[in-house]
Amino acid sequence: MDTIEYLTGQFHEFPQDSIDRGLDILRQDAFNAFNTMGIPGMKHEEWKYTRINKLFNTDYSLSADPADHSVSTSDLGPYRLPGNKDANELFFINGRFAFDLSVIQSAGLQVLPISTAYNGEHRDVIAENLSHSSRYLKDGINALNTAFLQHGVFIQVGRGLILEHPVYIYNITDARTANIFSQPRSLVNINEGAQVQMVETFITFGMNESFTNQVMEVVVQQDAVVEYYKIQNDASHTNQVSTTHFRQTAKSYVHTVTISLNGGIVRNNLNMVMDAEHCESHLYGLYFQQGKSHIDNHTIVDNAMPNCLSNEFYKGILDGNSSGVFNGKIFVQRDAQKTNAYQSNKNVLLSEEASVNTKPQLEIFADDVKCSHGCTVGRLDEEGLFYLRSRGISEKIARSLLLHGFVVDILDKIRLAVIRNYADQLISERLEFDIS
């Protein structure tokens, strides 16, 4: 059966929320939008270089029953991130939040099904923020996730709480017996003065096809501090569109690092909506791809209000037949005077076949702003290589040292030491490089 047809059938099968129509209307509108816009193809300006429509030729199943997943704690063992004993661990299995597997250690951290939260005390924040990302991502793939958001969860960190345990979020696809299309969905509310470190990763079990279409929306309230790290190192037969949408509703601080090391087609949408004065955000990224991997980092920084600072720095290494896309949009709206917005993207191509498309897009409607952007695409520094080799270091090790040196400043932006070291280890293993 055609995947689109299948999804349509699934959409109509799921029960509607009987208590309140709010979420149903959102879903129905999103489904209509999906039907109108369809899966974005090459003609869609934001999807020119990343072709996901062909992925819909596969027969996928959507996981029907959240309690019915076949993943056990022991399956998870080898995939859990280092430092997990000290972490809150949240598991999504095939797009459904697994309450049974998840471990919450911090009293101030709460996870609720989205409809429970909406019909309970969180209605206002949900009504205001759920699907906020669709204002920025006008395509059928974002709408498709929203159409199924009844499986989503509401995550919140209580007012003034400084979480001493980081929050690890695992998006697991169990493709051991079937091709899986999964759509994890969450709305995270970081309350006033709260501080949290989040780490998100994607893991696929089994060799069947998997396509993850994930959306996480994060509301950052007054004086909150958020660190968010995304580690993508899934198998090369897996594909994903991963959307992380931050909205800073008052003076607050967001620091993100996106590390992308493997996967078939990986498309990241990282949005930073600075909806209040004196917000600060940092967006760092590192992609290191080989084989036929395709990595696309689309970022949007929307400076809507005055006196905000955003700083964006992505680096990439592309080897083999891999391809990369960096698209960095910065909006500085008319009222956003005294905005500081910086952006830079640097790439090293290691093979003739590897390629990258890098495109800064600045749309500035205010006049008293400081903005800068720059991008480079180059090869490994031959002078540096000769310098190291002239000291007796073999070409192979010299290359590794140079490449490791190229990425280490981004790794150092990960302030959670176990995760920083883990990412470093993954990269060093790829470089066959001894970090000791």
Binding of other proteins by 381 (CB under 8 A):
yes
Out of 291, 363, 405, 425, name the contact with other proteins by CB under 8 A: 405
Binding of other proteins by 120 (CB under 8 A):
no
Binding of other proteins by 20 (CB under 8 A):
no
Binding of other proteins by 397 (CB under 8 A):
yes
Q: What is the dihedral of CA 74, 77, 83, 87, to 10 degrees?
A: -40
From CA 186, how far away is CA 192, in angstroms rounded?
A: 19
Q: At what angle do helices 395-411 and 382-389 cross, to 10 degrees?
A: 120
From CA 198, how far away is CA 214, in angstroms rounded?
A: 16
Residue 136 CB neighbour total at 10 angstroms: 18
Binding of other proteins by 402 (CB under 8 A):
yes
Copy the structure tokens of residue 147. Answer: 């159409």
- Exposure of 355 in the CB half-sphere (CA atoms within 13 A): 4
Binding of other proteins by 384 (CB under 8 A):
yes
Binding of other proteins by 392 (CB under 8 A):
yes
Binding of other proteins by 344 (CB under 8 A):
no
Binding-residue total with other proteins (CB under 8 A)? 23
Out of 187, 198, 273, 407, name the contact with other proteins by CB under 8 A: 407
- Least distance (Å) between residue 201 CB and other proteins: 24
Q: Which is nearer to other proteins, 412 or 429 (CB)?
A: 412
CA dist list (Å): 246 to 33, 91, 349: 22, 21, 31
Beta strands in 78-184 (DSSP E): 88-93, 96-97, 109-113, 153-157, 167-174, 180-182
CA dist list (Å): 335 to 200, 254, 280, 330, 332: 34, 21, 17, 14, 8
Length of the chain: 436
CB under 8 A: which stretch of 35-43, 133-141, 242-250, 377-385 binds other proteins?
A: 377-385
Binding of other proteins by 408 (CB under 8 A):
yes
Binding of other proteins by 72 (CB under 8 A):
no
- Least distance (Å) between residue 384 CB and other proteins: 5
Out of 72, 351, 394, 425, name the contact with other proteins by CB under 8 A: 394
Q: Which is nearer to other proteins, 22 or 384 (CB)?
A: 384
From CA 95, how far away is CA 126, in angstroms rounded?
A: 20
What is the residue-wise DSSP string for 190-202? Answer: E-TT-EEEEEEEE
Q: Which is nearer to other proteins, 200 or 424 (CB)?
A: 424
| Residue 356, amino acid | V
Q: Which is nearer to other proteins, 366 or 408 (CB)?
A: 408
SS3 367: coil
- Least distance (Å) between residue 268 CB and other proteins: 24
Binding of other proteins by 425 (CB under 8 A):
no
- Least distance (Å) between residue 38 CB and other proteins: 44
CB under 8 A: which stretch of 57-65, 249-257, 365-373, 393-401 binds other proteins?
A: 393-401
Binding of other proteins by 432 (CB under 8 A):
no
Binding of other proteins by 387 (CB under 8 A):
yes
Binding of other proteins by 404 (CB under 8 A):
yes
Cα distance between the two ends of the chain: 52
- Least distance (Å) between residue 392 CB and other proteins: 4
Out of 401, 418, 421, 426, name the contact with other proteins by CB under 8 A: 401
- Which secondary-structure segment (H or E) carries 128? helix 123-129
Binding of other proteins by 391 (CB under 8 A):
yes
Binding of other proteins by 395 (CB under 8 A):
yes
Binding of other proteins by 320 (CB under 8 A):
no
CA dist list (Å): 104 to 85, 145, 435: 11, 26, 33
SS3 318: strand
Site residues, other proteins (CB under 8 A): 381, 383-384, 386-395, 397-398, 401-402, 404-409
